[in-house]
Amino acid sequence: MSDAVLAIGTRKGLFLARSADGGPFEMQPIQFSTIAVPSVAIDTRGATPRLLAGVEYGHFGPSVMYSDDLGQTWQEAEQPPIAFPEKTEATLARVWQLTPSPSEPGVVWAGVEPGALFRSEDRGVTYRLVEGLWEHPHRPLWEPGGGGLCLHTIVCHATDPAVMGVAVSTGGFYRTSDGGLSWEAANQNIRAPFLPEGAQFPEFGQCVHKVAADAAVTDRLYLQHHFGVYRSDDFGGSWHDIGSALPSDFGFPIVAHPSRPGTAFVLPLTADMDRTPVGHRYRVHRSDDAGETWQPFSAGLPEGPVHAAVLRDAMTASEAGVFFGTRDGEVHCSRDDGETWSLVGRHLPDVLTVRAAVL
User: What average pLDDT does the segment 31-41 reach?
Assistant: 97
pLDDT of 27 over the 80 cut = yes
Distance CA(234)–CA(224), nearest Å, equals 17
CA angle (209 as vertex; 190, 155 as ends), nearest 5: 90
pLDDT for 1 equals 53
pLDDT in tens, 63-107: 999 999 999 999 999 999 999 999 999 999 999 999 999 999 999
Distance (Å) of CA 160 to CA 110, 130, 154, 270: 18, 18, 14, 38
pLDDT in tens, 43-65: 999 889 999 999 999 888 999 99
pLDDT for 43 equals 98
Side-by-side strand order, sheet with 13-19: 26-27, 13-19, 4-10, 351-358
- Cα end-to-end distance, the chain, whole Å: 10
pLDDT of 262 over the 90 cut = yes
Parallel, antiparallel or unpaired: strands 50-56 and 342-345: unpaired
In terms of Cβ atoms closer than 10 Å to its own Cβ (0-12, 13-18, 19+), residue 34 is: exposed
Give me Rg for the CA atoms of the chain. 19
User: What average pLDDT does the segment 133-142 reach?
Assistant: 98
Q: Shortest CA distance to 121 belongs to which of 138, 107, 134?
A: 107
Distance CA(199)–CA(211), nearest Å, equals 23
Bond before 114 cis per omega within 30 degrees: yes
Instruction: Specify the range with the lowest mean pLDDT, choosing from 190-194, 231-235, 243-247, 257-261.
Output: 190-194
What are the residues facing 45 on neighbouring strands? none
pLDDT for 58 equals 81
Which CATH number goes with the domain that contains 67?
2.130.10.10
Q: Shortest CA distance to 313 belongs to which of 256, 266, 354, 268?
A: 354
What are the residues facing 147 on neighbouring strands? none
Side-by-side strand order, sheet with 321-325: 315-318, 321-325, 331-334, 342-345
Instruction: Specify the range with the lowest mean pLDDT, choosing from 18-22, 261-265, 343-347.
Output: 18-22
Q: Mean pLDDT, the chain, as a whole number?
A: 96
DSSP state of 133: H
pLDDT for 106 equals 95
Of the chain, the percentage scoring pLDDT greater than 90 comes to 93
pLDDT of 132 over the 70 cut = yes
User: How many domains are contained in the chain?
Assistant: 1
Task: List CB contacts of 67: < 8 A, sequence separation 6 or more.
Answer: 50, 51, 53, 73, 74, 75
Range(s) of the domain holding residue 67: 4-358
pLDDT of 344 over the 60 cut = yes
User: What average pLDDT does the segment 346-350 reach?
Assistant: 98
DSSP state of 348: P
pLDDT for 2 equals 81
User: What average pLDDT does the segment 246-259 reach?
Assistant: 98
* Ordered DSSP codes for 142-184: ---BTTBSEEEEEEE-SS-TT-EEEEEETTEEEEESSTTSS-E
| Percent helix, percent strand, percent coil in the chain, to nearest 5 | 5, 40, 55
Pair 325, 316: CB distance under 8 Å: no
Q: What pTM value is reported for the model?
A: 0.97
pLDDT for 60 equals 86
pLDDT of 302 over the 70 cut = yes
CA dihedral 208, 214, 219, 222 (to 10 degrees): -20
CA angle (203 as vertex; 252, 236 as ends), nearest 5: 60
pLDDT in tens, 179-206: 999 999 999 999 998 888 889 999 999 9
